[in-house]
């Protein structure tokens, strides 16, 4: 049956502009390109992000990827210095995390846990 998650898709208005933004600001690497979509690798993860040209979700309850980093404070400050829209750094009983938003308003999250 199901073997793995293959990718996580996000809709963007301009796939070329968005791909450049993801590479410059989040450090992702474009590994495949075709008409209307790009595949971007995330660090050493086997699950990429696929950005597809279309109308981004306006829902506050949209699905979103959660990235992991062992350097949460440094990652947070790096994104802020690059003018990436981020929420406040938050902590709960298990995680330290923050939300970030791409140029089309797509929500993502970055977390750290031990």
Report if residue 40 sits inside a domain. yes
Residue 107: Cβ within 10 Å count:
19
Q: Is 112 left (phi over 0), alpha (psi -120 to 50) or beta?
A: beta
Residue 94: φ, ψ to 5°:
-120, -40
Nearest to 39 by CA among 25, 55, 22: 22
CATH code where residue 96 lies:
3.10.180.10
pLDDT of the residue at 43: 94
How many domains are there within the chain? 1
Q: How far apart are CA 37 and CA 53, in angstroms?
A: 6
Instruction: Please provide the average confidence, as pLDDT, over all residues in the chain.
Output: 96
Judged against a pLDDT cut of 90, whether residue 14 lies above it is answered with: yes
Q: How far apart are CA 113 and CA 99, in angstroms?
A: 15
62 pLDDT band, cuts 50/70/90, is: confident
101 pLDDT band, cuts 50/70/90, is: very high
For β-strands 107-112 and 96-101, DSSP reports them as antiparallel
Report if residue 24 sits inside a domain. yes
Which domain does 40 fall in, by range?
8-112
């Amino acid at each position: 049956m199901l073997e793995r998650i293959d990718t996580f898709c996000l809709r963007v208005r301009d796939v070329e502009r968005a791909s450049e933004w993801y590479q410059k600001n989040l450090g992702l690497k474009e590994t495949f390109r075709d008409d209307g979509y790009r595949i971007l690798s995330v660090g050493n993860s086997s699950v990429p992000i696929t950005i597809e040209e279309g109308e981004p979700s306006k829902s506050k309850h949209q699905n979103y990827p959660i990235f992991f980093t062992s350097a949460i404070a440094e990652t947070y400050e790096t994104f802020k210095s690059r003018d990436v829209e981020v929420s406040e750094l938050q902590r709960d009983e298990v995680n330290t995390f923050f939300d970030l938003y791409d140029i089309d308003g797509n929500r993502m999250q970055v977390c750290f846990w031990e």
